[in-house]
Structure 1
């Protein structure tokens, strides 16, 4: 736990001002007005982190899988989840090619709901997924401070944003989805606006400027727009389905990428157990993690769970 003195020592560019709720700067004329209140401090988690190059890390996982005999197909579209007698038997590609498989796993990200509908399993799920458009923005670090070297991944709940170091001594700013921000749910994950919008740019960057008063705000917007795969309570679904042999690792909501190896281990254990006859719905599988030895109850991630009221209902999970 860092008090304000320690926080100032480690992050001198951070303001200690506390604000009464998150608003949008284009709707709040008092957006930058100080309340006279101060935050209490910060929680420092040195074991935390982030993956700054998901493409490289995904390629590393691909190469590791190929070394074990895995094969990859790219730029292919699935048009059918084939099944016989309540059991999956493979998939059909748009080209007409059929791939036979006794086990199919839906890891389609923001297309997860499309694949579930194709497989005919969505209706029996209590927790479902949708695609949510999200923006992250880039701004330069304040003069005289090397945020790329000395900055931290920071969750600022008071301003409903997170931000972290990015290459070129810049700061990446994302949203923690406050209620005042409109949510844009996407019906077709292959057709959405992938350009940064002025209104959301100002909302997230100006919120960051309240925490970092010396933040340099460029006149031109910069950032990345893509889709989150969001479950009803923003907690992933790692589970079987009503279709035998069809499994799901979905609803990861932008916060599970660095957990992929653990999720993969859990899914492998789950699939192996279910294919051998284990009734996961009646008796949720418990998985022992490889390195820490912690036991994870996979029922927590069930498609049939009730909405978790303790969720942040945001990218924080």
Structure 2
């Protein structure tokens, strides 16, 4: 091989080594060459996308009309079972639009997708949208860490995290424990004790309701006996006022404060019971069986010590 050919070959090998090294350090290539569709449905959609690109077909609303109509129908059916439907709170109250127009384009004026940041139903704007009617709940929510994180452009729960869109359900104990746990858990290390505290707070409200029912029965019985129940009734009214305000107070997500307020309601209800003539609960005294068991344990302990 001539010297000239050797030099040319060496030059090509040098350039190849440079490009190969550059490709090896390209994180885009490293990542994207590993990407694949994860499911059969994704593969199907990806094939459709490629065919559309090859045929220069733009995404058309007409193609997806069936899917969109199904979603709209589902949203409507959910809404019909909600309290919003009972009070005639309709689509335009949350989504804007012109509900008086029968023309689709006119009816949808001002309606934006929930993914658009200036939409009334964009997740960070939802509290203000709901707050137009639910002002007391909104004022409580504004003082919460959840709201502060939303305003800081971070991910955080908003109204429809707990009250599902279009259904607007009030969650039960198990449901909100599950929702709280989606963020408050040991893996994410975001106050993992919150779900348990939330359940305790919920159970405490049930205790308050039971104490109020007991006080109401006591006052009713005392009134039938001709007793003056004015003081007891005043204390009961205070307990009821606290109970009725708890759903609003909850939206501040300040569990220690919520517990303290609930406890004060329980105190009012129990005081009302006493003033109505119900004797206060006395601490239970150990029975003979319990005393005998304790004596036996102490005797065994002393025998072991002597050995």
Q: Which has the larger radius of gyration?
A: 2
Which structure would you say has the larger RCO, counting Cα contacts within 8 Å and 6 or more residues apart?
1
Q: Scaled by the length of structure 2, what TM-score is found?
A: 0.22
> Which has more helix, going by share of residues?
2
> Which has more strand, going by share of residues?
1
